[in-house]
Amino acid sequence: MQMMMSSKTNHSPIQYLKEEAPFLSIVLTFLVFQFGMDGVLDKAVKPGTANPFICALLGLWLLGVTLWAAFGVVRHAEALAIKLGEPLGTIILTLSVVGIEVALISAVMLTGEAAPTMARDTMMAILMIVLGGLTGASLLIGGYIHGEQEYSLPGARTFLGVLLPLAVFALVLPTFTTSTDTATFSPYQAAFFAFTTLSLYVIFLRIQTNRHKSYFEQPRKERTDDHEAAPDDAHHHGTLRSTSYHAIFLLLTLLPIVLLSKRIAKVVDYGIVEIGAPVALGGILIAFIVLIPESMAALSSARANKLQRSVNLLLGSALSTIGLTLPAVLAVSLMTGQSLILGLEIAPMVLLLLTLTVCLMTFSSTRTNIMQGAVHLVMFFAYLLLILNP
Q: Domain locations in the chain?
A: 2-388
Question: Which of 115-119, 155-159, 351-355 is least confident?
Answer: 115-119
User: Quick one: what percent of the chain has pLDDT higher than 70?
Assistant: 86
Q: What is the pLDDT of residue 230?
A: 42
Q: Please give the pLDDT value at position 114.
A: 55
Query: Band of the pLDDT at 11, cuts 50, 70, 90?
Result: low
pLDDT at 162: 94
More confident of the two residues 62 and 114? 62
The pLDDT score that the predictor gives to residue 143 is 92
Look at 162-166, 287-291, 303-307 and tell me which has the smallest mean pLDDT.
Answer: 287-291
Between 30 and 89, the more confident residue is: 30
Residues in contact with 33: Cβ distance below 8 Å, sequence separation at least 6, in sequence order = 41, 260, 263
Can you give the pLDDT at residue 139?
95
C-alpha 84/C-alpha 49 separation (Å) is 52
What pLDDT is stored for residue 227 in this prediction?
A: 46
Average pLDDT, rounded, for the chain: 82
Stretch 6-29: mean pLDDT: 75
> What is the pLDDT, as a whole number, of residue 279?
63
What pLDDT, in 10s, does the model give residues 220-251?
Answer: 665 545 444 444 444 555 678 888 888 888 88
Q: Residue 261: its pLDDT value, please?
A: 74
Give yes or no for residue 258 having a pLDDT over 60: yes
* Mean pLDDT score, 133-156: 92
- Residue 288 vs residue 366, higher pLDDT: 366
Q: What angle separates helix 370-388 from helix 135-146, to the nearest 10 degrees?
A: 150
Quote the CA–CA distance of 18 and 15 in Å, as a whole number. Answer: 5
Res. 282 pLDDT band, cuts 50 70 90: low
What lies within 8 Å, CB to CB, of 323 at 6+ separation is 162, 166, 197, 198, 200, 201, 204
Residues 30-88: tens digit of each pLDDT: 999 988 888 888 888 887 788 888 888 988 898 889 888 878 887 887 788 778 776 77
C-alpha closest to that of 96 among 262, 312, 255: 255
**Burial, 227: exposed, middle or buried (Cβ in 10 Å; 0-12, 13-18, 19+)?**
exposed
Q: What is the pLDDT of residue 219?
A: 78
Which of 105, 108, 122, 25 is CA-nearest to residue 69? 25
Work out the pLDDT band at 380, boundaries 50, 70, 90. very high
Hey, which residues does 150 pair with through a beta bridge? Answer: 367
pLDDT range class, residue 253, cuts 50, 70, 90: confident
Share of the chain above pLDDT 90, in %: 29
Q: What pLDDT is recorded for position 363?
A: 93
How large is the average pLDDT for residues 368-375?
94
pLDDT at residue 93 is higher than 50: yes
Report residue 2's pLDDT band, with 50, 70 and 90 as the boundaries: very low
Q: Is the pTM of this model over 0.85?
A: no
CA distances from 289 to 19, 120, 129, 227, 309 (A): 22, 18, 11, 32, 21
Residue 215 has pLDDT above 90, yes or no: no
